[in-house]
Every structure is written in structure tokens, then in C-alpha cells.
Amino acid sequence: MSRPALIVLVGLMLVAPAAGRPLDDRREPSRERAFVSGQLIVGFKDGVSLAQQSRALGRYSGKVRRRFGRIDGVLASLPPARVQQARRALERDPRVEYVEPNFLLRTDSHGDPGDPAFHNLWGLHNFGQQVAGVAGMPDADIDALEAWQVSQGSPSVVVGVIDSGVDVGHPDLASQIWINPGENCAGCRSNGVDDDGNGYVDDWRGWDFADGDNDPSDDNGHGTHVAGTIGAAGNNGVGITGVAWNVRLMPLKFIGADRTGTAADAISAILYASSKGAQVTNNSYGGDGFSEAMLDAIRSADSAGSLFVAAAGNSFTDTDEEPNYPSSYDAPNVISVAASDAFDHRAWFSNYGRTSVDVAAPGMNVYSTWPGGSYRFEDGTSMAAPQVAGAAALARSAFPGASDVGLKALLLRSADPVGALSDAVRTGGRLNVNTAVRCADQARVWLDSPAPGFEVRAGDPLPIRLIATRCAEATGVSAHVEVNDLPIELTARGDGLYTGSYTPPAGAALTVVAGAEAAGGADTQSVSGMAVQHQPIVPGGDPVTVTTTSPGENALLSFTGTASRRIALQVSGVTVGTSTCCSMRVSFISPSGSEWLPPVPFGRNGGFIDTRTLPWDGEYRILVDPQGSDVGSLTLTLYDVPPDVSGSISPGGPPATAMRARCPARTPFSPSAGWPGSGSA
């Protein structure tokens, strides 16, 4: 190096620190770094007074957010548009020692717990790693890694695993198994006595309802897999970690080796869990049979403060139309969970429902514990539900005063909106446990009922049920609800659940807006629906004419039906729309509220829905839905169809006479009208 060059270099080194010290390349790497917009950290020289510090910042509309007294520094907030100008000027200010952004800091690695198979758990932390041959989309996960910086769970939180049992000796689960305090005295575990008086002898670690004994070991694998996702021990150097590192898992077996179990055993398990203090239960099972007893058990669990997390099912079915139970039970403590994949899409097999399924969670290629101390991948909403149950356990440890409904509101309102899920689940998104546990005194409101797109009979009360909490706790929050800007009186249950009702006029479009306020911020949620006119119609009785006068207005007709009764429907006298096809749709709704017959399109020529046999007892409804902005009238005739007449006739024998009862007149066939009986116009 020549001497002149050395002189120049020394000169630069001497001149640089003259006033405020800039961030040169030695301190600020060339790669872009993340920082908080609109904030600077400013260090002042010794002897600069607080007033002088404020004046220096005030020239650029800067305000002191926090002082670091021992190092003469401040965290300042400024209008984002003025940050760069202020930074350059402050660097030249003789009172300033340094100016720097408020950088965002991360751990050096992915921050993984010390579990060797953690990177298989893409649902907890997805950075695009390849799992089971699939490289996912970064951040299509529940943000568990970030949530663990706030909470890793608590052994005081108990989750009931209502399933096929649990491998209680598994190295990743043994430390997590719940022990019944009422059966844990010296010798109590095996003394053959019901020490806690709950009707189960020696139930020191749960119960096997399938076999009627105190050994809830898993002879199937499903329950062990579920348990590991909820709460496998974290950072123990073994296998995987659950969503909640520290939790107590209550094994409640009602499913056998053949993956089936009875409703009665499930009901017993639900009641056991809530009676023994499980704040959350995971229910990764289902069917299409409605059980009033199971609904009562779920409601009893709600009374005991137990959240009921349920898998939505794996039939690729819209459960708004074909319910799946227990996920479709209407109770305030139920969360219904769909499955998502590593790209934030709904898993191909997962049930869905814009009103009946609440949220999605990772449910494909889920790696978890398996009996015999092993691990394996599984798919299903059965694997998605325990992600939510584990998140509930984590949130319960972060907010010890949370109620079951409070946890529901917090988790659902914390979901990440995802475009591909917007029409699949009610939240329109995927679980995010990090957002939930970082709630800071903020209001959370969840409008549990009515659901989006609801229809109510004009003149009938519309039940309203909302959950309003401060994060997940019922204290320090106020709630209100309006229907079409009219305030509705609410009754508080005391745990964050509020109920009320509104009786609408006919033909009214309705908007229900729920709100909550707390010290950390407010929250609102709204749904829209319609009040429809309602008239009775009798099978075999007189025709009924309905008229709609407002665009979007529907009409409902109802009748009482019995299983095996046969009916047919004629549509005539149509003035709705102007076309000969598809200006309206008519559908039948079953007594359970699901769609029995899918919508049949009609036009100005009317048409006919041929004989159908009713499958259930109860009240059926006929929904008339004019399309678009069409309005008008139509006449419906509901026929009571008698049994078919049977007889015999022999080739070459005497003539046979066939008689029939009153037959509905059908629309004659014409090329422009379509085939009669098809429902088309």
C-alpha cells in the first residue's frame, strides 16, 4: 500500500465519528434486515437533558415511547414518512451518539425444541421443509414456534383424549399422563376400591369404557397419535413435541381395535372428563346419527367449563347439508375442525361447511406418537382436531382464568384468514396459536348464532348467542349486539356467553352485529341473513300461494311428516321472473335442519317433483328461493301419495283392471317445457 492511500484511509477513520455515529457496514450487514416501521432507537451523549432529548426528536414529530435511562437512550416513534429524514438529521446532531432502527430479533436457528423429529411437524413450523416427500409452503402452519416464546403449557391444564386409548408408557407421553388425585394415595391405585366415589374402581389414570376396566391402553394406535399431537413432551431429546409441551393427558378409551365405539361409551367418557376437571376434550371420531343424549353430555361438559374440540369428518362432505356428529352439535363449547394441507388448502378428504365447521388445522402427513414407543404419519381431521385441542391447552395456560367458551372465541378470532379456506370454514382460515397466546387485554367476540346466511321465519324469535371476552377471560369486557341497528337486550351467563333474541318482520334483510370492548382494544363480528314469510301446507290439502315482494326474499312452507309417508309437489301459477327456466329453486329441508332434497330449478311454466318417501318423523320445510332479484308468486300443491297398487296378470289370461286414487295433474310435455316430473320448466 502506498503512503498517500494510507493517509486517506486514516483520515476517513478520524472524520466518521464527528457527530451522531452512522451505522456503517461493519455494524449493519449488507442483507436487508427487518425492523419496526416508524420507530428509531436514539442514543444521546452524556449530559444531554431530557428536555433537550425531547426537543431534538420534536423537530421531526418524534415522540418518546420508552426511555433506557442507564444508557441515555430512547425508543422514539415517528411518522413513517419522516423516519429517514429524521435519522439523517439526528446522525448530524452533536447531542446524539447513535441512531438505529428498532430491529426485529430472532433466534439463530429455527428455534426448534430439542426433539430429533421436530422438522417432520410441518403443521407446527413450516419453513418449506420436505415432509413425507412433500415440500410445503413456508408459514402454512399454526405458528407454534412463536407461541412457545409466550407459553409452553402447564401441568395444571388437563386434556381428555376420548379415543382408542393411549400408550401410557410411550417415552414421549409417559410424563404427560394425568393421574387421578382421588385414586393416588398409598396403595389406592390397585386396592380394588372406588376411593374417589365416582363409580369407577382404581381409575387412577383414566378409564377404558369399551372394556369396562381401568386400563386405557391403546390397541389401535389412533388415540396415541392424537395424544402426541396434543401434548407429547417437548425439548426432552426424544421424538417429537406436542402443541403443548407441558400438559396432562387424560386417557379415556371407548374405541376398540376395530376403530369403532358406541355412543353410550362416548357419552360416559365425555361425562367422566368434565366431572374430573378436564378443561378441554379432543373428539376425533364421528358419524351421521344424531344423539340427544350425547348433545346433553356435551352441554353438561359446557356447564362444567370443558371445551369440546371435534373432528369435522373425512367424507369430503358439506356438513351444512349433511351433518356429522359430534362436530355438528349446536352447543357453545363445540369447535368443529377441518383439515388443511402444507399449502394452506383444504385437505381433499376433509368435510367442510361455511356455517357448521369453524376452523381448519393441519391434518395431512401429521407425524406423531404410535404404540410401542414408535412414530408414524397419519392423515385426517382426526389429526387436525388435536392441533386445536393442544392450542386450547396452550391458551389456557397463558390465560388461567379462561372459560371454555372464552377459549373458543379466542382461538376462532385468532385464525389466519386463508383465501383457499374462505368458503370451507366459518372463520375463513387456519388456526394460529401464536396470535391467540399473544392477546393482550384485547376484546374478542364470536357470534356463535345465527350463522352467516341464516333464514328465520318472519314473526318467530331469532335466537342470538355470542361470546365476548377479554382475550379468553370473562372479566373486564363489555358486550353488545344490534340487529339492523336496533340494540338487543342480552343476558350474561357469567363466563363470556351472552344470549338474546329478535323477532323480525317478513321480507326483511337482517344484519346482526356483535361487539365487545376491553382495555386493550375492541372487536366486532357480523352476519347477514333473511326473515322469510312462513305458511303451513298440508299433504293432500288445498294449494298454497306464496308471493315475494323484495329482491332476495325467500318463502318457507312447513308440514308435519312421518317416516315412510309418500308425497309429491306441483308448482304452478308462476309469475316469478320472465324466463321459462330456472328463475327460482325449490328444496326440501329435513326436521334436523339439513337439506333433504337438493334444490330443483323451475321457470314460468312450473313443474313437478315426483313421488318421494319421507325418511324421518318431524316437521319438514319447503324453501322457495327466487334467483337474483326476481320477485313474484307461485302456487304449490303438496300431494299425499297413496301406496302403489299391485296385482297380477297372466299371458293369455283374463284382463286385469288397475285403479288409482286421485292423481295430480301434470304439466304436459312440450319441447319448450321439458320432461314433466323432471322439475325443469
Rounded to 5°, angle at Cα 217 from 214 and 218 = 145
Residues 430 and 447 in one domain: no
Cα–Cα nearest to 525, from 429, 418, 455, 445:
445
Q: Does the structure show a pLDDT above 50 at 61?
A: yes
pLDDT (0 to 100) of residue 69:
67
pLDDT (0 to 100) of residue 193:
92
pLDDT (0 to 100) of residue 603:
87
User: Which stretch of 52-61, 147-156, 364-373 has the lowest confidence by average pLDDT?
Assistant: 52-61
Cα–Cα nearest to 403, from 301, 266, 329:
301
pLDDT (0 to 100) of residue 105:
38
In a domain, 519, yes or no: yes
CA distance 440 to 436: 9
The residue assigned the cell 376403530 is 259
Residues 335 and 381 in one domain: yes
Q: Name the band, by pLDDT with cuts 50, 70 and 90, for residue 20.
A: very low
In a domain, 247, yes or no: yes
> Could you tell me what percent of the chain has a pLDDT over 90?
56
| Mean pLDDT, all residues of the chain | 85
Residue pair 434/243 in contact (Cβ under 8 Å)? The answer is no
Describe the crossing of helices 292-303 and 404-413 by its angle, rounded to 10 degrees. Answer: 100
In a domain, 675, yes or no: no
Q: Name the band, by pLDDT with cuts 50, 70 and 90, for residue 224.
A: very high
Catalytic pick among 268, 350, 382, 403: 382
pLDDT (0 to 100) of residue 112:
59
345 catalytic per annotation: no
User: Which stretch of 6-10, 388-392, 666-670 has the lowest confidence by average pLDDT?
Assistant: 6-10
CA distance 275 to 305: 10
Residues 512 and 561 in one domain: no
Using CA atoms, how far residue 391 sits from 408, 413, 443, in Å, is 11, 13, 19
**CATH number of the structural domain spanning residue 477:** 2.60.40.10
Q: Name the band, by pLDDT with cuts 50, 70 and 90, for residue 103.
A: low
* Mean pLDDT comparison of 344-353, 447-456, 641-650, highest-scoring range: 344-353
**CATH number of the structural domain spanning residue 58:** 3.30.70.80
Residues 284 and 413 in one domain: yes
Cα–Cα nearest to 247, from 444, 386, 401:
386
**Cell for 640?**
299425499
CB atoms within 10 A of CB 524: 13
Total length of the chain = 681
Residues 450 and 486 in one domain: yes
Catalytic pick among 125, 222, 345, 534: 222
Catalytic pick among 115, 143, 163, 172: 163
Residues 482 and 562 in one domain: no
Residues 300 and 240 in one domain: yes
For the chain, the domain total comes to 4
Q: What is the pLDDT of residues 396-438, one digit of tens each?
A: 999 999 999 999 999 999 999 999 999 999 999 999 999 999 9
Question: Among 44, 77, 103, where does a domain finish?
Answer: 103
In a domain, 226, yes or no: yes
User: Which stretch of 65-69, 474-478, 511-515 has the lowest confidence by average pLDDT?
Assistant: 65-69
| Strand partners of residue 535 | 557
pLDDT (0 to 100) of residue 34:
56
Cα–Cα nearest to 403, from 337, 498, 308, 307:
307
| Strand partners of residue 492 | 498
Q: Name the band, by pLDDT with cuts 50, 70 and 90, for residue 679.
A: very low
Residues 153 and 23 in one domain: no
Q: Does the structure show a pLDDT above 70 at 444?
A: yes
In a domain, 338, yes or no: yes
Torsion sign, CA atoms 394, 400, 406, 410:
negative
Q: What is the pLDDT of residues 587-633, one digit of tens each?
A: 898 887 777 888 888 888 889 999 999 988 888 989 888 888 888 89
Residue pair 427/490 in contact (Cβ under 8 Å)? The answer is no
| Mean pLDDT for the stretch of residues 64-74 | 73
Q: What is the pLDDT of residues 634-676, one digit of tens each?
A: 999 999 999 877 778 888 888 877 655 444 444 332 322 222 2
Report the helix count and the strand count for the chain, using DSSP H and E. Answer: 10, 34
pLDDT (0 to 100) of residue 202:
92
pLDDT (0 to 100) of residue 36:
67
Which is it for strands 359-362 and 334-340: parallel, antiparallel or unpaired? Answer: parallel
CB atoms within 10 A of CB 132: 13
**Cell for 508?**
326483511
196 catalytic per annotation: no
Question: Among 462, 497, 531, where does a domain finish?
Answer: 531
pLDDT (0 to 100) of residue 659:
59
**CATH number of the structural domain spanning residue 432:** 3.40.50.200
Q: What is the pLDDT of residues 482-494, one digit of tens each?
A: 999 999 999 999 9
Kindly give, in sequence order, each residue whose CB lies less than 8 Å from that of residue 278, ignoring residues fewer than 6 positions away.
158, 159, 160, 250, 306
Residues 282 and 421 in one domain: yes
Q: Name the band, by pLDDT with cuts 50, 70 and 90, for residue 104.
A: very low
pLDDT (0 to 100) of residue 91:
87
| Mean pLDDT for the stretch of residues 537-546 | 92
Q: Name the band, by pLDDT with cuts 50, 70 and 90, for residue 289.
A: confident
| Mean pLDDT for the stretch of residues 67-83 | 77
State which residues form the domain around 593. Answer: 537-640
pLDDT (0 to 100) of residue 35:
64
**CATH number of the structural domain spanning residue 573:** 2.60.120.380
Going along 237-349, which residue ranges are E strands?
A: 246-253, 280-283, 307-311, 334-340
In a domain, 250, yes or no: yes
Residues 370 and 495 in one domain: no
pLDDT (0 to 100) of residue 98:
83
Q: Does the structure show a pLDDT above 50 at 319?
A: yes
Residues 524 and 555 in one domain: no
Residues 433 and 299 in one domain: yes
Question: Among 103, 127, 160, where does a domain finish?
Answer: 103
Q: Write the DSSP symbol of residue 206.
A: B
Residue pair 49/122 in contact (Cβ under 8 Å)? The answer is no
Cα dihedral 561, 562, 567, 570 in deg (nearest 10): 0
In a domain, 666, yes or no: no
Q: Does the structure show a pLDDT above 80 at 92?
A: yes
In a domain, 414, yes or no: yes
pLDDT (0 to 100) of residue 314:
93
